[in-house]
Amino acid sequence: MDKDVKNPNDSEKSKQLENYEIDYTDKPLTTRQGLKVNDTNNSLKAGERGPTLLEDFLLREKIHNFDHERIPERIVHARGSAAHGYFELYKSIEQYSKAGIFTDTSRKTPVFTRFSTVAGSKGSTDLARDVRGFAVKFYTEEGNWDLVGNNMPVFFIQDAMKFPDLIHSVKPEPHREIPQAASAHDTFYDFVSLTTETMHNHIWVMSDRGLPRSYRMMEGFGIHTFRLINKEGKAHFVKFHWKPKLGVHSVTWDEAVKISGADSDFHRRDLWNAIDTGSYPEWELGIQVVAEEDEHKFDFDLLDATKLIPEEMVPVEIIGKMVLNRNPENFFAETEQVAFLPGNIVPGIDFTNDPLLQGRLFSYRDTQLSRLGSHNFHQIPINRPVAPVYNNQRDGHMQMEIHKGRTAYFPNTIGGGCPYLSKVEDGGFESYQEKIDAHKIRNRSESFADHFSQPALFYRSLAPWEKEHVISAYSFELGKCEIQAIKSRMLYIISKIDKDMAAKVADNLGMDIPDTVEKPLNQAIGADAEVSKHQPKEKKVYLEASKKLSQDHTVFDTIETRQVAVLVADGFSMSDFEKVEKTVKDQGGLIKIIAPHGGTVTCDQNMEHEVNAAIMTTESVLFDAVFIPGGKKSVETLLSKAKFSKFVKEAYKHCKAIAVANEGEQLLADLKEQDVSKDKAIFINKDSEAFCKAIAQHRNWDRMPSAEKIAV
């Protein structure tokens, strides 16, 4: 067909599509029934700090639609990996909770734990800059308890009503479906710059916490403030923490980009291989407990999910540990079909009036109904409790249980009154009796309006190298935005957190920091709300720094499961190799032989060694350290292959430990402009113990400024 002659069907198709096109310009926001909406930022509560009300039809419509947008993939946390394990209690905390999992130290409670990214689709990379989900299902004797959290202690938003807006902004832009698994685009920063409550979680994502080295090397948090209830009925507020035994470690952004190309399944493979080889990941469970009478003693609100409690104010008490020791048999049946619900609790644990938590209690169940196709999803094996289940809920799609008897109602006499009600003292659940006396109101507490104090505390607490990474992250993300007004607004907001940080980001962008913005910052208010009341307050300094917020204060005493790349070719020195191999393996590290080719490689003692990867199939970013043994023939071969030199230069650039022996020193020739003799993580003919200590330190960040000049 001539390109200038239009297909007659095109115009008919255009008319058909026009019937479904909606222009939102200059139109008021309405419900699906056409009802004009006055506030789409706050759920209906019993008082500004009270519980969210079930009658909130606006919240239910908005979240119900959001929960059903996609099937069967999760809308958020689609990309994930999981494992089975167990939880053991170190000591009873019966003074706080009557839950058996917190009082019975003889128990070994089965768990299933799933880690995930948030924004990307199921097929996206593991190494996206993102929050990581950290969800644990405890199969307790009293029923399932799901602790559904993230690897960051705070969330982006304060009220669940904003969750669809947050995710819509960070998902690929709808007109072109890009970018995938990335927040560096206009729609996200348009939302963030107008919703300043996001800034605390956002600066965590911009830090190294957004790029974990491994699922096994990241913290987990319950995010919300929950309640613990003891047998006397007394309540305490609590926040839950998971502390990894291997410490909290990350990769750099440059590594993340390259790992995504070299092995987009990096975290998934790492978790699977660690468990498969018996290096079981472990976390200790800690709690921060606050007495009810101390609820209002802080400079922030305990019900605000964008706030954490610094450990200097309330120490974390370690009470138990989780060990993951078994991989799933079938990814779909277990990892994909597991359904986590924050509403799954047991006697001794209860909720608070946190408006984000209150909305999640509705949203997660609704999501599982859509994703798994039936309200009987609890009967799928991975979701079944170990506690026996007896109730009068019947039938429905995919019913798998065969219920006996004539009755499915209560009360009854035909069935002997069964299943019967349990008394509280016999384990029956009783909701905490909190007194509520408040007006129904669609608003939020003024105590939620401090948006800058804790982001500033976080940034002040970081080590210099961590601060540089945050600045680089903001510079990259905003540099990807196309709308100048959004970038300018973000610079203004960042300056409210830290002026020096904002100045460096602005310099990288070639922009100036504006003195003001064109409209009120905080848009999380209704049309009739008093704007000034909800504007973000000036930051306060109630704590100069909190060292636990920095990865500079994590665990640095183990190299367990760390991968050491050994660069060799035929003729390498067995004597050099043996010394390092023994020390690394004795300390739980892994030796990976990288050679010019696959198959086997022969040392100078004519012994064959299995090659773990040919140099053309792997990258330096996949390893934690590098060792090059001597051997004239071997080193000559390595020098003839350009990628070996690149491998070493890249390891240097990423501040990793490097050890060389004898002729292996020639591979450092490309670093001649650097004074490697004074580098505390480069070892030339040194003992292997020192090398392993440097690996345990994760990186030599002192090298960072000069390392950035290295071209690879």
Helix runs in 462-605, H state only: 464-480, 484-497, 499-509, 531-534, 574-586
Q: Which tokens hold the place of 85? A: 């394990």
Which of the 8 DSSP states describes residue 535? Answer: S
Q: Residues with Cβ < 8 Å from 22, sequence gap 6 or more?
A: none
Query: Pairing state of beta strands 440-442 and 44-46?
Result: antiparallel
Helix (H) or strand (E) holding 628: strand 625-628
Three state DSSP letters for 134-195: EEEEEEECCEEEEEEEECCCCCCCCCHHHHHHHHHHHCCECCCCECCCCCCCHHHHHHHHHC
User: Which backbone phi and psi does 368 adopt, to 5 degrees?
Assistant: -65, -35
Per-residue CA distances from 712 to 254, 258, 419, 646, 650 (Å): 11, 12, 69, 6, 6
Q: Which tokens hold the place of 571? A: 């003729």
Alpha-carbon gap, residue 629 to 615, rounded angstroms: 16
Neighbours of 462 (CB within 10 A): 20
The span from the first CA to the last CA of the chain, in angstroms, equals 51
**Nearest 5 degrees, angle CA 590-CA 129-CA 326?**
45
Burial of 155-166, coded b for 16+ CB within 10 Å and e otherwise, reads bbbbbbbbbbbb
Q: Which tokens hold the place of 64? A: 């119900």
Per-residue CA distances from 278 to 115, 266, 351, 508, 623 (Å): 19, 18, 37, 46, 19
Q: Which tokens hold the place of 76? A: 């958020």
Contact (Cβ atoms closer than 8 angstroms) between residue 295 and residue 658:
no
Contact (Cβ atoms closer than 8 angstroms) between residue 116 and residue 79:
yes
Contact (Cβ atoms closer than 8 angstroms) between residue 52 and residue 43:
yes
Alpha-carbon gap, residue 204 to 130, rounded angstroms: 9
Which of the 8 DSSP states describes residue 423? Answer: P
Which residues are the active-site residues? 77, 150
Alpha-carbon gap, residue 118 to 167, rounded angstroms: 9
Alpha-carbon gap, residue 352 to 228, rounded angstroms: 10
Query: Pairing state of beta strands 590-595 and 613-614?
Result: parallel
Q: Is the dihedral of CA 372, 378, 384, 385 positive or negative?
A: positive
Q: Based on the number of CB atoms within 10 Å of its own CB, is 503 exposed (0-12), middle (13-18) or buried (19 or more)?
A: middle
Bridge partners of 532, per DSSP, are none
Contact (Cβ atoms closer than 8 angstroms) between residue 471 and residue 504:
yes
Contact (Cβ atoms closer than 8 angstroms) between residue 127 and residue 267:
yes
Q: In this structure, which amino acid lies at residue 560?
A: E
Bridge partners of 504, per DSSP, are none
Q: Tell the residue number behind the tokens 């009987």, with chain if given.
A: 376
Neighbours of 29 (CB within 10 A): 12
Alpha-carbon gap, residue 36 to 39, rounded angstroms: 9
Alpha-carbon gap, residue 409 to 317, rounded angstroms: 45
Nearest alpha-carbon partner for 66 in 421, 296, 362: 362
